[in-house]
Chains A and B, each alone.
Chain A
């Protein structure tokens, strides 16, 4: 079945450091790929998405490129802030109709210290 694998965490960085969170996937066909963020005490929010190979999703300084050849969707940010501290989930969804489901990775906790 479909699956998403995220790098092990947690990750702790200093403010303004470069961030990379790895995500790889296994799926048949051509899934859409997502990064969701969960801030402390809140629900998941869509951070960015890409729907086809070579697409780059970007939002709030975060970027991720859909790489079909390596089945990856790594999340990057050039300079993290304390406010970026949260749990980040990589996910995929098949374009299989109205009930298309999200398959999530395990999530990784990012802590950014001042």
Chain B
């Protein structure tokens, strides 16, 4: 149980275009999902916390108008990178917390590799 999927697993887009990444909890409901960014050989950096039915909370330094997050249902959150530039190329990972709130642990998706050319 506690499986989180991401789609696509990798994407290449041209500079100036937008790309949407989906994060789904497959076998549980998640009121809270998190979006991270991971640079090569570095740790995960939390970008934002997404709550179902409300606006996302962004970490300091993360542009909310550039990284649009929508959490429309208890099993789906999306991250849209708008007007992407090469510096946005990275590995984006989502995670979700189980609605039952048994613990603070998060379940992670496999990640999406974004390359902006």
- A residues near B (Cβ < 8 Å) are 32, 34, 36, 41-46, 49, 51, 89, 93-95, 98-102, 104-107, 109
The answer on a CB contact under 8 Å between B31 and A98 is: yes
In the assembled complex, the Cα of A30 lies from the Cα of B11 at a distance in Å of 40
Size band of the interface chain B makes with A:
20 to 34
Nearest residue (CB) in B for A89 is B43
The answer on a CB contact under 8 Å between A106 and B42 is: yes
The answer on a CB contact under 8 Å between A43 and B110 is: yes
The answer on a CB contact under 8 Å between A100 and B104 is: yes
The answer on a CB contact under 8 Å between B49 and A99 is: yes
The answer on a CB contact under 8 Å between B43 and A98 is: no
**Can you list 5 A-B pairs with a CB-CB distance of less than 8 A?**
A44-B95, A99-B49, A99-B51, A101-B34, A102-B44
Chain B, range 75-117, C-beta contacts under 8 Å to A = 93, 95, 97, 101, 103-111
Nearest residue (CB) in B for A106 is B43
The answer on a CB contact under 8 Å between A98 and B93 is: no
Contact A104-B108, Cβ < 8 Å, known A44-B93, A98-B97, A99-B57: no
B58: min CB distance to chain A, Å:
12
B25: min CB distance to chain A, Å:
13
Contact A101-B93, Cβ < 8 Å, known A43-B109, A46-B105, A93-B104: no
The answer on a CB contact under 8 Å between B46 and A102 is: yes
